[in-house]
Amino acid sequence: MILNKIYIEDIFPFLIAGIFALLGITFIIISIFITRAKKKRCTEKVYGTCVGLDSYTSYSDGHHRTMYCPIYEIYYRGQIYRLMNNSHSSMRRVNPGDSVELLINPYQPNDFIDPKRKFGVHTVLTFLGILFTALGIIFVMAFSSAM
């Protein structure tokens, strides 16, 4: 019985594909844990008033885009808190003066969920996870057919 020798050149493409897929799955799992942990912590419903918008403008290729992040003010347990999640978006979903239902962490009111914000770290991680996993699968399929 003769065994074929396995060379590093033969398995290297599959190793790279496996790393991509593993990174992708890891990003998706981290995203799920971040989202679940935040939902477990932020359980208290409060109404916040948008008191302003933090904004900045980015310039690229002769175009500019203004990014916004709402600043909320809430009254909770006798204190006034100003909340901002530092997740800027080009879409203004909230305007100053609007009242929004927020979910806060009762033990740390500055930790909150803004249901109107659809994108955040978890969205980016999920997208990267799907992208890396798909690339890993595509690489495996491409390298398999080339052999």
Number of structural domains in the chain? 1
pLDDT tens across 12-46, in order? 778 888 888 888 888 888 888 888 898 999 999 99
Query: Is residue 6 in a domain?
Result: no
Cα gap 75→51, rounded to integer Å: 13
Domain that holds residue 59: 43-116
Query: Is residue 100 in a domain?
Result: yes
Cα gap 21→134, rounded to integer Å: 7
Query: Is residue 133 in a domain?
Result: no
Query: Is residue 54 in a domain?
Result: yes
Query: Is residue 90 in a domain?
Result: yes
> Per-residue pLDDT for 63 more than 80?
yes
State both tokens at 113.
């969920």
Query: Is residue 10 in a domain?
Result: no
State both tokens at 78.
């006798």
> Per-residue pLDDT for 124 more than 70?
yes
Cα gap 32→99, rounded to integer Å: 29
Q: Identify the pLDDT of residue 4.
A: 61
Query: Is residue 34 in a domain?
Result: no
The arithmetic mean of pLDDT across residues 74-86, rounded, is: 92
Query: Is residue 32 in a domain?
Result: no
Q: Identify the pLDDT of residue 121.
A: 65
Cα gap 32→16, rounded to integer Å: 25
The arithmetic mean of pLDDT across residues 88-94, rounded, is: 78
Q: Identify the pLDDT of residue 71.
A: 93
